[in-house]
Structure 1
C-alpha cells in the first residue's frame, strides 16, 4: 500500500516543535511518540522524554497546559497531599511554595515546568479517534481535521476528563441553580443561599466548607459509605505516614491504625450520618480506586451542625428535594459533587489494554503503563500525581530504549 505522508518538525535541541498543519489531507508522520493531553501526566512524560533525547508531539484539546486545574476547579482548592509527593519528575516545587500548594500555585508550577523543559503542545487539537494499523505497523491518530502517524502512542488525558452527571429523578424540574463542581468557582455566588451539595468526596466536603464560611445554609447529601481521615496526624501527612507504615506492616494493620487515629482526632463519623465501609481506607483504595476524604475542616462544621448531613434523595419539585425519610426541603441551588470519569473509550479503538467500559488499563498499578504495539498510559494508576510521575518515567525509559536501538540500527544501515 502506498501512503503519502508529511513530516512537520523544527529541530529545537533534542525535541520537536510542531507548528502549522499541512493544508492538504496527507497523514503527518511523527518520528517520536504522540502524547495526548497537556495536564500533569502529559507534561511529566514529555519532560522524561526530553531528558532522554526522544522527540515527541503533544496534542491538547484546550488552549493551555493543566486545563482541568485552570478551567474546572474551584478557587479555594489546595493539593490534598504534601508538595514533595506531588512534584513532577526532574523539577521540585519552589521552596517558597507552602506544604500544600494552592490551585494558583500549582498552575504556576505546571506553566514553569512546561517552560523549563521547552514543552510546546499543539493546542485546540482534540483527538477524534486513534487506531493501530497492523498493516503499516503504526498508530493513526485523527485530531480535528489532521491525521498523524506514529510508532508510539501515549494516552495522558488522565482520569478526570468529563464530569459525571447522575440520573436523578425529577432533576429536570428543578428551577434553581443546578451545577456540577466543574463549574463552581467561588462561594460569593451563593452568599446567604440554601444550598444542597450532592456527593461527599474531597470536592463535596471542601465546597461545603467554602459555602459554610460565606453564611450559606449547607446540606450535604451523602449517598454512599465513605472513609474520612484527618489530613495530618501529629503534624505529619496522613498519606506519608501510611506510605511509610506500608513498608513494614500489612494493609489491614495500617488501616486499623488510621481508623483509630481518625476516631481520636475526628470522632465517630457514624453519629454524624457518615457511615464507613467495612473494609479499611487503604484496602478500599487498592480494590476499587476510591480515595478516602482528607478532612481540612468540614467535619468540624458537620459536628457543630453548620453543615447538615442528609441521606440520598430524588429531586421531586421545582425547588425542593424529597429525602429517604419523606422530609421535603427547598433549596436555592444544587451543586453536584459527583466526580469525573475519563473518556478514553470514546476515541481509542483498542480493547486489549484499556477496559472499554471504564476506560482504565486492565492491569492494576504498577503494571498499568504499557500495552501492545507501542501503546502506553500515564496517569491512570489511581495513585495521584505520584503515580503519574512513576508511570512517566517508566514509559519514557521504555521508549528511549527502543528509540536508541532503532536510531543506532539506522546509522549502521546508512
Structure 2
C-alpha cells in the first residue's frame, strides 16, 4: 500500500477547472502534489483576459451547462448565481473553491511546464519555464484542449489576398472587434453562435456560414435548464437520447425554419450547439444564414451557392487541436488526427504514472468529470485501484474509438467525445472494478505495480 510519507511526488500541469479539481483531490487524499500554472490565477479558460495568453474567453461568454450540473460535488455554486452564469462568476467560483479547501499553496503561478521526459526508472523529469528540472513519480496533464486554434485545412482559395481581416474565434475577446463591420462567422458550434449573436447587435451586417447542419438546443425547455431534464447516471443512453430527440424537436422545430441547413445526423450524433439567442436573432433577420465559404475574392466572400458579400471581418470558429507542447513529438503527438488512445480516457497505456485529466469533450460539464477522474488517479497511486493488463486496455481503447465512429459524424472534434452521465457512471464503476482486480498482472503487458516505480522499489526493499 502506498505510504505518502515516503515522499512520492505528483505534478499537475495547469490550474484550470480540471487542474484544480485534481490538486484538491490528491492533496486531500494525502499525496504530495505540485501544480504549475502559467497565469497569475486559477480558472484557465474561464478567465477573460487571462495573463497566460491562451484563454478562449470573451466578454459575453456564459456557461452552456447549468450551474447545478457543473458544480463540484462538495462545493455547490452560490444559489444567487443565474442558471447559466457569466465567465467572471465562474472564475470567481473556482477561486473560491481553492480558498475554501486551502490548497492554494500547492499551485505555483507564473510558472509553465516546458518539457516532460519519462525516465527509464519510471519517474519523470519536469522542466519548468524558470529552467528548473524537478523529478516526479507521476504527472497529471490538465492543460486543456481549447487553446491551440485549428484553421480550415486546406485554407479557402483567395484567403491570402483577402483585403479584410481573418481571425480564429480564439482571438475574439469583445464586441468592440465587431462594431460597425461587415462580419462573416464560419461555423455552427457554441462559439460561432455566440459571436454571431454579438455581431448581430454591434456589426453593420452579420452572415453565419454553415459548413454543415447542427441541432441547436435552447438553454431552457419547459421553463427548466435543458440539461436538468432527464440528466442522470441511472438513465441508460438508449432511453435518454430517443426521448431527448423528441423533446428537442418539439422545442425548436426543424432548423430549416430558421434558414439553417437541416442536420444530416440525429440529435446526439454530433456535439450539440446550445443557444437560445441564435434562434431569436435568426428569426428576426438580424443574422443572415448562408452556406459554407467557397473562396475569397478581393474584399468579398463567395459562398457555395454563388452568393457574394463584401466583408471586413471573417471569424473562423473551426475548433482546436489537441496539443501537448511539453512532450517530445515522437513521444506523443495527436496533431495528425486529433486522437490519443487512453484507457478510460485517463490512463496512458504505455507510460505508468502519466494521466490526462479533463481531456474529454463531454455532452455536459468537465468539472465533475475531472473530480471523479482525480479520485480514480488517487486510488491508483495509493494501490487500491489496479489496471487490467495491456491487452484488455487496448481492447477498451479500440472499442471506444469504434463506438465513436459508429455514433458520431466524422469530425476531429469527436475524437474525445463522451456522454456526461454515461462517462460519470463508467468512472464510478471502473473504481469498483479496479479495486476488485488482482494487484499483480501477468506477462510483460504492464508493470505489476499500481504505484509509481520509485515507490514500488521502496516497497520491495521493505518487504525483504
Q: Give the TM-score band, short-chain normalised.
A: 0.7 to 0.9
Corresponding residue SS for 1:213: helix
Q: Which residue of 1 aligns with 2:260?
A: 273
Equivalent position to 1:47, from 18, 24, 36: 24
Equivalent position to 1:185, from 161, 173, 177: 173
Is 1:74 the counterpart of 2:58 in the alignment?
yes
Q: Which residue of 2 aligns with 1:140?
A: 125
Q: State the distance in 1 between where 2:261 and 2:61 align.
A: 23
Give the alignment's Cα RMSD to 1 decimal.
Answer: 3.0
Aligned residues: 373
Identify which range, 175-184 or 36-45, moves more after superposition.
Answer: 175-184
Q: State the distance in 2 between where 1:299 and 1:69 align.
A: 25
Q: Which residue of 2 aligns with 1:396?
A: 378
Is the 1:49–1:400 contact (alpha carbons within 8 Å) kept by the matching residues of 2?
no
Q: Which residue of 2 aligns with 1:376?
A: 355
Corresponding residue SS for 1:399: helix
1:225-277 per-residue CA deviation (whole Å, 9 max, x = no partner) reads 32212222212232232423x734543x5333323322322221034223213
Q: State the distance in 1 between where 2:28 and 2:337 align.
A: 33
Is the 2:163–2:298 contact (alpha carbons within 8 Å) kept by the matching residues of 1?
yes
1:52-76 per-residue CA deviation (whole Å, 9 max, x = no partner) reads 1212111223333223222331111
**In the superposition, relative to structure 1, how do residues 387 and 291 fare at CA in structure 2: closer, same or farther (>3 Å)?**
farther
> TM-score scaled to structure 1, two decimals?
0.81
Q: Displacement, 1:196?
A: 0.6
Is the 1:174–1:318 contact (alpha carbons within 8 Å) kept by the matching residues of 2?
yes
Equivalent position to 1:37, from 2, 10, 14: 14
Is the 1:353–1:362 contact (alpha carbons within 8 Å) kept by the matching residues of 2?
no
Q: Displacement, 1:408?
A: 9.7
Is 1:152 the counterpart of 2:132 in the alignment?
no
1:327-365 per-residue CA deviation (whole Å, 9 max, x = no partner) reads 211012112222222212x4334989985745554147x
1:297-341 per-residue CA deviation (whole Å, 9 max, x = no partner) reads 111221332211111114423321011122211012112222222
Corresponding residue SS for 1:348: coil
The unaligned stretches of length 5 or more in structure 1 are: 1-14, 17-29, 285-289
Equivalent position to 2:188, from 196, 200, 218: 200
Equivalent position to 2:72, from 66, 88, 104: 88
**In the superposition, relative to structure 1, how do residues 168 and 122 fare at CA in structure 2: closer, same or farther (>3 Å)?**
farther
1:162-199 per-residue CA deviation (whole Å, 9 max, x = no partner) reads 12222232222222233222222222442332211111
The unaligned stretches of length 5 or more in structure 2 are: 51-55, 384-450
Q: Which residue of 1 aligns with 2:289?
A: 309
